[in-house]
């Protein structure tokens, strides 16, 4: 029987545990892309407008995999590429990300309400069901395509 090593946390606060697991803004942005764009490869993440550095991206992808939030496999169409996908645990962060977006729209100016947030506000249960169906069902195509970030879910 394999036993998981107990994780040492600074406190028993659930918010602290979440922050220790996710680490920083880059981890949340990687999760965001996988939630709203679907499976992605390394170069897809590098092409995002936020401009993550290669060393930070590599570290965060490794950390998110170790935490069980994402998985990776070789791209069936190009074996040199690795495709990253969410696990069910990672996808469970979708409501938190959407609520963070709602909070920012309420308190910050100059932001645009993305389509996924509109769909979330209109039908939370239906939106999450569709998201789970799209993100957790294996597909024959590995990637949704470069530059499709945050567009593929419920157009």
Residue 46 near residue 36, CB atoms below 8 Å: no
Say yes or no to pLDDT of 153 above 90: no
pLDDT band at 4 (very low <50, low <70, confident <90, very high): low
Q: Is the dihedral angle over the CA atoms 75, 79, 82, 88 positive or is it negative?
A: positive
Question: How many degrees, rounded to 5, is the angle at CA 12 between CA 8 and CA 2?
Answer: 45
Distance CA 32, CA 150 (A): 8
- Domains of the chain plus CATH, in order, are 14-136 (1.10.10.10)
Average pLDDT for residues 5-13, to the nearest whole number? 74
Residue 8 has a pLDDT of 77
pLDDT (0 to 100) of residue 73? 94
Report strand pairing: 82-86 vs 40-41. antiparallel
Is 0.85 topped by the overall pTM? Answer: no
Confidence (pLDDT) at 20? 84
- Look at 8-17, 82-91, 129-138 and tell me which has the smallest mean pLDDT: 8-17
42-62 residue pLDDT tens: 999 999 999 999 999 999 999
Helices marked H in the chain = 14-22, 25-37, 42-46, 54-66, 88-91, 94-107, 115-122, 124-136
Mean pLDDT of the chain: 85
Nearby residues of 62 by Cβ (< 8 Å), 6 or more positions away: none
> Residue 141's pLDDT is what?
43
């Amino acid at each position: 029987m394999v036993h998981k090593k107990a994780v040492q946390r600074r406190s028993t606060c659930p918010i602290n545990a979440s922050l220790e697991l996710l680490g920083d803004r880059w981890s949340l942005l990687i999760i965001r892309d996988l939630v709203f764009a679907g499976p992605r490869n390394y170069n897809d993440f590098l092409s995002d407008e936020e401009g993550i550095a290669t060393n930070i991206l590599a570290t965060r992808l490794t950390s998110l995999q170790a935490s069980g939030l994402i998985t990776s496999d070789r791209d069936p169409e190009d074996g040199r590429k690795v495709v990253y996908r969410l696990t069910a645990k990672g996808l469970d962060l979708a409501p938190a990300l959407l609520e963070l977006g709602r909070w920012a729209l309420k308190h910050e100016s100059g932001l645009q309400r993305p389509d996924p947030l509109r769909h979330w506000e209109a039908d939370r249960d239906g939106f999450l069901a569709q998201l789970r169906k799209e993100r957790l069902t294996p597909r024959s195509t590995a990637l949704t395509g470069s530059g499709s970030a945050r567009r593929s879910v419920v157009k």
